Chain A
Amino acid sequence: MQLIPCPWCGPREEAEFHYGGQAHVAYPEDPSALSDEEWAQYVFFRENPSGPFAERWSHSAGCRRWFNAVRDTRTHDLLAVYRVGEPMPEVTA
């Protein structure tokens, strides 16, 4: 049972959290201006890297806040957590 450091609450057990997929995939400014392919990229396609990955997490059984985390997908180590709206910090895996 991993500990996830919620930026609002501190370290809590992973069972309290909900995973939200890749971070920094913004809702397009004007969806109607996008081609079908561009829209499909937004709806269906996500990165799947081996290594550091910026993801969204929600502390759903705690403060119910969404935040972002950089996780090394090889080790599950959380390299950084940061609040929504903050830029992704530099990390070393």
Chain B
Amino acid sequence: MTHRTPTGGSIDRNTLLRFTFNGTEYTGHPGDTLASALLANGVHSIGTSVKLGRPRGVVAAGSEDPTSLVQVEAPFSEPMLLATTVELYDGLVARGLSGQGRLSAEPDPARYDAKHEHCDVLVVGAGPAGLVAALTAARAGARVVLVDEQNQAGGALLGVDEYLDDRPSAEWVADVVAELKSTPGVLVLERTTAFGMYQDGFVLALQKRTDHLGFAAPAAVARHRVWRIRTRQTVLATGAHERPVVFADNDRPGIMLASSARTFLHRYGVLPGSRAVVFTTNDSAYCAAIDLAESGVDIALIVDARAEAPARLSTECAARGIEVRAGQFVTGTEGSSRVEAVLVGDQRIACDTLLVSGGWNPVVSLFSQARGALRYDSELGAFVPGEELPTVRVAGSATGELDLTACTRQGRDAGAGAARAAGFTPGGQVPLPASDSRCTARSGLVLWRVPGSDDTSFVDLQRDSTVADVLRATGAGLRSLEHIKRYTTIGTAHDQGKTSGMIAAGIVAEALGVELGEQRPTTFRPPYTSVSFAALAGRDRGELHDPVRVTSIHPWHVEHGALFENVGQWKRPWYYPQPGEDLHTAVLRECRATRESVGLMDGSTLGKIDVQGQDAGKFLDMLYTNLMSTLKVGKIRYGVMCGVDGMVIDDGTVIRVGEERYLVTTTTGNAAKILDWMEEWLQTEWPHLDVHCTSVTEHWATIPLVGPRSRDVLAAVAPDLDVSNEAFEFMTWHDTTVAGVPARVCRISFSGELAYEINVTGWHGLTVWKALMEAGKPYGITPYGTETMHVLRAEKGYPIIGQETDATVTPQDLGMSWAVSKKKPDFIGKRSFARAENNRSDRKQLVGLLPVDPAVLLPEGSQIVETDRLPEPPVRMLGHVTSSYPSAALGRTFALALVRSGHDRIGETLYVPVEDALVPVTVTESVLYDKEGARRDG
């Protein structure tokens, strides 16, 4: 049986849309929402409640609805949508939810994007007040953006059958929208919800661009768009939500807000039922009752909680045979899957629909988000905007005003005021439309609940939270609404308490015996309505989520089967497994080849900073713990940097390129941080220094060529270079030609082996890499990755900043006192080295650990304890393992660790808890391989 009226509503009755709900096929029309189409088919039961499993239906017609949550299954599965805001399309498949949805296991194929927009005046809400505000500002010449969450403008007018200027209100709306859309500089956005309002006129709005097209949505069009609007002035014309009254068993399907039933009638041509009781505290429900009666609904009774019913409206009701009883209350309902009877005192009235109106809550969410203060209006029983903000005005029923003419006048004033504040002069006044509405008197009774069974008197229908829950909270001593919200979860569901929050506050105030005006309302937070993470992520998904940096040699690594390690945004070769190899076997092979013959790696990601200027040396002397200004041109020095607290922040080499020019290298992950560090000191402390710093990380491809045969390989590709130990000393550099390409070759080593670092412009990196591979063939040259680099340096006790160190390790802790200048009067961190804390003998210091069983590999991060049996907790921890590897060169496993008083414990046996066992380890110096440094010169 259809519940559709024979005519009326802005639906296309000539077109049928097929859809499936809970497995049953139905039809509706373009213009329907899923909710209106279901009601037209007599379906009121949408889902069941999250905790109690009680049937729930449709309470409101719009985004304030607390109950009609559905999972849409086709074209793409999406959870937690409101049936009242899902526009119907052909082929829609949905089912009702019990509070929780299910995320699709499939990746979402839709596109999402974001767009920036700047304007003079933003108007939120295209109801009568917002339309007049936008038109006033637009006629003044302001750039105006008008956003509205509905698929058409009109706001509350969409749900009534009223006349403006003696013609249907839709015609007036259409004229205003047409003028706005044809005015240059005006942007009208439909299906767009302003969901967040932030500082300095920043507003986020979500536009649903293709949802209503269903299967016909073009794949190339972004489904949702987040508008990032920056506006000088804002007019909030966000309207008001009708609120219910709480009574026993107030949650059955068929119990609906009166104005929402009126909206279903006028906008969709849908009747909520055939026999209705109306329960109200104010005039507005009378208009709903009269309209529904005229459309054929049997209005059994109007129960008006006020002592006296309004005279004129009562007369109108009497003329239609509608009984009105004043001073009475609905005390309960009966029914199973739908309301079947309403209890008024001791009378039971059979019906299939109960319409409720407890008054109106202005929608103040955005105003509150913009830090506008709210004020309690005791006549309205709602929080309304307090003082206007310098850049935010409120107009229409969002202020608590109910009369249409007063609302449009506020819209005109707000639009003119906003335009003026944005620097425009409003011209002639926009004429206000004459209205004939008759249910707008502010004469309501503030009524939160009718006493009855507290356990079935639902305050938040989505959360299944009842009056009993609220009283339990106040009974437990809670007084703040914020606390009670968290205790009861009222207002924390998808609807954020749009219809329940005010009532909860009212019941709390009654229970505590305080005035609501003294209660601080809960804070409104974005988003106003649900926004998907996909929409917020926009295009920043998958490979666009974060930039990926690769070196110029990267294609070779890929071609040769390298596995990669992410270091910051860089992709670095981790190791190059050969068939059948795992990490350990590959790394042992790479290490052995490098120490016994020659290996090479791609070190291009190393941070490089070009430091120039007359005072460059003086500046580096302050940044590094050792002296840099004394370095001769052509030489290289290793250096450590500390913070003012004396803790190591980075290390690397410094190359003196010229009298006033240095090239500084940093660890891969710290390149940007160290450049920032340099700029901070230069700009804020030493602006008088003549120093300029530039990142040149990506200008250079850097290839360490490592191992006893590296000299032979280099000689083969650098014919102009004298590679002898005498001509090319350790820690010096030469400019030459490598593989026909201009190159800077540095003799530095991060492995203890004879090694060269070949630097060429990034453009030539791949060519030179291939030439080195070719020239190294006779020696079995082996490419190696970061893992082998880590093992080789650990065998030599070289720390990696960020692995051996956190923010609590000094150069002295690392055994690097040799890198700390005694001569310099000052450098960053120096004064901290003299603090008592820095000189405690029990500081954690870097040492080597050799497991007594040479096959045992300690997990990195393991704790270290002193005894071979764990005492009762708390157990004193001596430190932790920072690096741990099997070593080809040592023929066993080894580790580096930070250990309390570690330098004094060399030779001691300590214990490392690994799962259930305590592994004995011997403490050694951190340098485990080639302590004499015999291999450095090849």
Q: Are A32 and B826 in contact (CB under 8 A)?
A: yes
CA gap between A3 and B200 in the complex, in Å: 6
- Residues on A with C-beta less than 8 A from B687 are 84-85
- Residues on A with C-beta less than 8 A from B835 are 36, 39-40
Within 8 A of A (CB), among B190-221: 198-200, 202
Q: Tell me the smallest distance from the CB of A40 to a CB of chain B, in Å.
A: 7
Q: Tell me the smallest distance from the CB of A39 to a CB of chain B, in Å.
A: 5
Interface residues on B, range: 20 to 34
Q: Tell me the smallest distance from the CB of A63 to a CB of chain B, in Å.
A: 11
CA gap between A3 and B645 in the complex, in Å: 33
Given contacts A1-B198, A2-B200, A32-B831, contact A20 B645 (CB under 8 A): no
Q: Which residue of B lies closest to A23 (CB)?
A: B684
CA gap between A34 and B230 in the complex, in Å: 50
Q: Are A34 and B680 in contact (CB under 8 A)?
A: no
CA gap between A42 and B683 in the complex, in Å: 19
B825 at interface by CB-CB < 8 Å:
yes
CA gap between A47 and B820 in the complex, in Å: 32
Mostly, the B contact residues are mixed
Q: Which residue of A lies closest to B681 (CB)?
A: A27
Number of A-B contacts (CB under 8 A): 60
Given contacts A76-B199, A85-B687, contact A43 B645 (CB under 8 A): yes
CA gap between A25 and B198 in the complex, in Å: 32
- Residues on A with C-beta less than 8 A from B371 are 75
CA gap between A66 and B684 in the complex, in Å: 7
Number of interface residues of A (CB under 8 A): 29
CA gap between A2 and B228 in the complex, in Å: 13
- B 682-696 to A, binary, CB cutoff 8 A, 1 in contact else 0: 011101000000000
Within 8 A of B (CB), among A41-70: 42-44, 56, 58, 60, 64-66
Given contacts A3-B199, A3-B200, A66-B680, contact A32 B825 (CB under 8 A): yes
CA gap between A88 and B482 in the complex, in Å: 39
B676 at interface by CB-CB < 8 Å:
yes
Q: Are B831 and A66 in contact (CB under 8 A)?
A: no
CA gap between A71 and B656 in the complex, in Å: 43
A31 at interface by CB-CB < 8 Å:
yes
Within 8 A of A (CB), among B658-684: 676, 679-680, 683-684
- Residues on B with C-beta less than 8 A from A30 are 826
Q: Are A66 and B826 in contact (CB under 8 A)?
A: no
CA gap between A28 and B831 in the complex, in Å: 10
- Residues on A with C-beta less than 8 A from B825 are 32
Q: Which residue of B lies closest to A66 (CB)?
A: B683
B830 at interface by CB-CB < 8 Å:
yes
Q: Are B685 and A26 in contact (CB under 8 A)?
A: yes
- Residues on B with C-beta less than 8 A from A31 are 826, 830-831
Q: Which of B198, B679, B831 contacts A34 (CB 8 A)?
A: B831
CA gap between A88 and B329 in the complex, in Å: 66
CA gap between A67 and B482 in the complex, in Å: 39
Given contacts A2-B200, A3-B199, A20-B680, contact A27 B830 (CB under 8 A): no
- Residues on A with C-beta less than 8 A from B198 are 1-2
Q: Which of A3, A39, A66 contacts B679 (CB 8 A)?
A: A66
Within 8 A of B (CB), among A62-93: 64-66, 75-76, 84-85
Within 8 A of A (CB), among B807-833: 825-826, 830-832
- Residues on B with C-beta less than 8 A from A34 are 831
- Residues on B with C-beta less than 8 A from A84 are 683-684, 687
Q: Tell me the smallest distance from the CB of B645 to a CB of chain A, in Å.
A: 5
Q: Tell me the smallest distance from the CB of B226 to a CB of chain A, in Å.
A: 12
CA gap between A76 and B680 in the complex, in Å: 23
- B 338-374 to A, binary, CB cutoff 8 A, 1 in contact else 0: 0000000000000000000000000000000001000
Q: Which residue of B lies closest to A32 (CB)?
A: B831
Given contacts A3-B200, A34-B831, A39-B831, contact A60 B683 (CB under 8 A): no
Additional A-B contact list (6), CB under 8 Å, known A75-B371, A76-B199: A1-B228, A3-B202, A20-B680, A56-B684, A58-B680, A66-B683
4 smallest A-B Cβ distances: which pairs? A31-B831, A3-B200, A66-B683, A2-B199
Interface residues of B (CB under 8 A from A): 198-200, 202, 228, 230, 371, 644-645, 676, 679-680, 683-685, 687, 825-826, 830-832, 834-836
